[in-house]
Amino acid sequence: MDLDYFKLIDRVVELNLDEKRITVEAQVPAAHTIFEGHFPGFPIMPGVLLTESMAQSSGWLLLGLLKFERMPFLAIVKEAKMRGFVSPGSLLTIEAKLEHEGSGFAVTKAKGRVGKELKCSAEITFGLAPFPDPSMRVHMDAMANKIGFPLQAITHD
Amino acid sequence: MSSTFDQIANIIAETCDIPRDTIKPESHAIDDLGIDSLDFLDIAFAIDKAFGIKMPLEKWTQEVNDGKATTEQYFVLQNLADRIDELVAAKNAAPGA
């Protein structure tokens, strides 16, 4: 995780386009100024960042399903549940699954675990739009390479 | 079994926290009920799920933007119910349905 740049996903572990699901890993930093304030003496990942992690995981799934032709933008978060504390240094594994693909929008369900323990879950809706700027598409390609997104998976039907 | 309009009205009432008795067949979702595009995403998800369809919102929006259709054709609730009935009928008539 690079919290300063809001890049919360480190690795794509598995992308299954047939089953419309993705599994990613996110290494929570052992130290960061966020943990100095949240909270002194009891550092834990803020729920909004766990929610954003689930949204970014879902976003990578949707980019794969959309073959990087459109960009998913976060629109609605429902049933966001923080089920347990996530401490600095934890390895977060997030699974996201497509719940529904509508016309111009998509809905996913995501779950985050540390080990076998479920830590967070949410239902997330995205608006799907053309990339607003070509540089954004270039950036997403570079990010995809960095996190090991299996680009070959989307070049074959 | 409740009518398509009743099902839509119940979805809108629940999703947007609008009193059910203010939602009429002649209500315009945007102009009368004040439903914005974000709420409509939520409504579209619920309608798609309830009827097992995929409402072609992007196509409808394009038709309105191009002047080929009016918002009333899609967003007056009785008209929306009729469009949904057509989509359900088309789905049921499709091979393998």
Domain boundaries, chain A: 3-135
Count how many pairs of residues, chain A against chain B, have C-beta atoms within 8 Å: 35
Query: According to the model, what pLDDT value does residue A9 have?
Result: 96
CATH number of the domain that residue B20 is part of? 1.10.1200.10
The nearest alpha carbon in chain A to B45 belongs to: A102
The nearest alpha carbon in chain A to B38 belongs to: A75
Judge whether A93 and B32 are in contact, CB under 8 Å.
no
Number of domains in chain B: 1
Q: With the C-alpha atoms ordered B43, B44, B45, B50, is the resulting torsion angle positive or negative?
A: positive
Query: According to the model, what pLDDT value does residue B16 have?
Result: 93
What residues of chain A lie within 8 A of the CB of B45, using their CB? Answer: 100, 102, 105, 107, 125
Exposure string over A57-95, b if 16+ CB within 10 A, otherwise e: bbbbbbbbbeebebbbeebbbeebebeeebeeebebbbb
Instruction: Select the residue of A76, A103, A125 nearest B54 (Cβ to Cβ).
Output: A103
Query: According to the model, what pLDDT value does residue B94 have?
Result: 81
Query: According to the model, what pLDDT value does residue A84 have?
Result: 96
Residue B11 lies inside a defined structural domain of this protein: yes
Q: Is the pLDDT of residue A157 over 70?
A: no
Asked if the Cβ–Cβ distance from B38 to A76 is below 8 Å, we say yes
Residues facing residue A78 across a β-bridge? A123
Q: Is the pLDDT of residue A156 over 70?
A: no
Per-residue pLDDT, averaged over B20-31, amounts to 95
Taking CA atoms, B49 is separated from A18, A32, B27, B44, B66, in Å, by: 20, 42, 22, 8, 29
Q: To probe the interface with A, which of B45, B58, B87 has the most A CB atoms within 10 Å?
A: B45
The nearest alpha carbon in chain B to A73 belongs to: B38
Query: According to the model, what pLDDT value does residue B52 have?
Result: 95
Strands of A21-27's sheet in order across: A11-16, A21-27, A91-101, A105-114, A117-129, A71-82
Residue B87 lies inside a defined structural domain of this protein: yes
Q: Is the pLDDT of residue A155 over 80?
A: no
Taking CA atoms, B29 is separated from A12, B10, B14, B66, in Å, by: 41, 13, 14, 20
Q: Is the pLDDT of residue B96 over 90?
A: no
Residue B42 lies inside a defined structural domain of this protein: yes
pLDDT in tens, A91-150: 999 999 999 999 999 999 999 999 999 999 999 999 999 999 999 999 999 999 999 999
Judge whether B76 and B68 are in contact, CB under 8 Å.
no
Q: Which domain holds residue B74?
A: 2-91
Query: According to the model, what pLDDT value does residue B65 have?
Result: 93
CA B92/CA B97 separation, integer angstroms: 5
Asked if the Cβ–Cβ distance from B56 to A103 is below 8 Å, we say yes
Per-residue pLDDT, averaged over B14-26, amounts to 95
Average pLDDT, chain B: 93
Nearest 10 degrees: CA dihedral of A63, A10, A135, A97?
10
Per-residue pLDDT, averaged over B70-86, amounts to 95
- Going by pLDDT thresholds of 50, 70 and 90, the confidence category of residue A154 is confident
CA A54/CA A96 separation, integer angstroms: 7
Query: According to the model, what pLDDT value does residue B62 have?
Result: 93
Q: What does R_g of chain B's alpha carbons equal in angstroms?
A: 13
Residues facing residue A92 across a β-bridge? A26, A114
What residues of chain B lie within 8 A of the CB of A125, using their CB? Answer: 41-42, 45
A100 is catalytic: no
Phi, psi of B35 (to 5 degrees): -75, 125
pLDDT in tens, A39-55: 999 999 999 999 999 99
Quick one: tokens of B94? Answer: 């499709």
Exposure string over B49-79, b if 16+ CB within 10 A, otherwise e: eebebebbbeebbeebeeeeeeeeebbbbeb
Domain A3-135, what fold?
Thiol Ester Dehydrase; Chain A (3.10.129)
Average pLDDT, chain A: 95
What residues of chain B lie within 8 A of the CB of A75, using their CB? Answer: 38, 41
Q: Is the pLDDT of residue B97 over 70?
A: no
Residue B97 lies inside a defined structural domain of this protein: no
- Going by pLDDT thresholds of 50, 70 and 90, the confidence category of residue A37 is very high
Per-residue pLDDT, averaged over A72-92, amounts to 97
Asked if the Cβ–Cβ distance from B44 to A103 is below 8 Å, we say yes
Residue B31 lies inside a defined structural domain of this protein: yes
DSSP character at residue B6? H
Residue B96 lies inside a defined structural domain of this protein: no
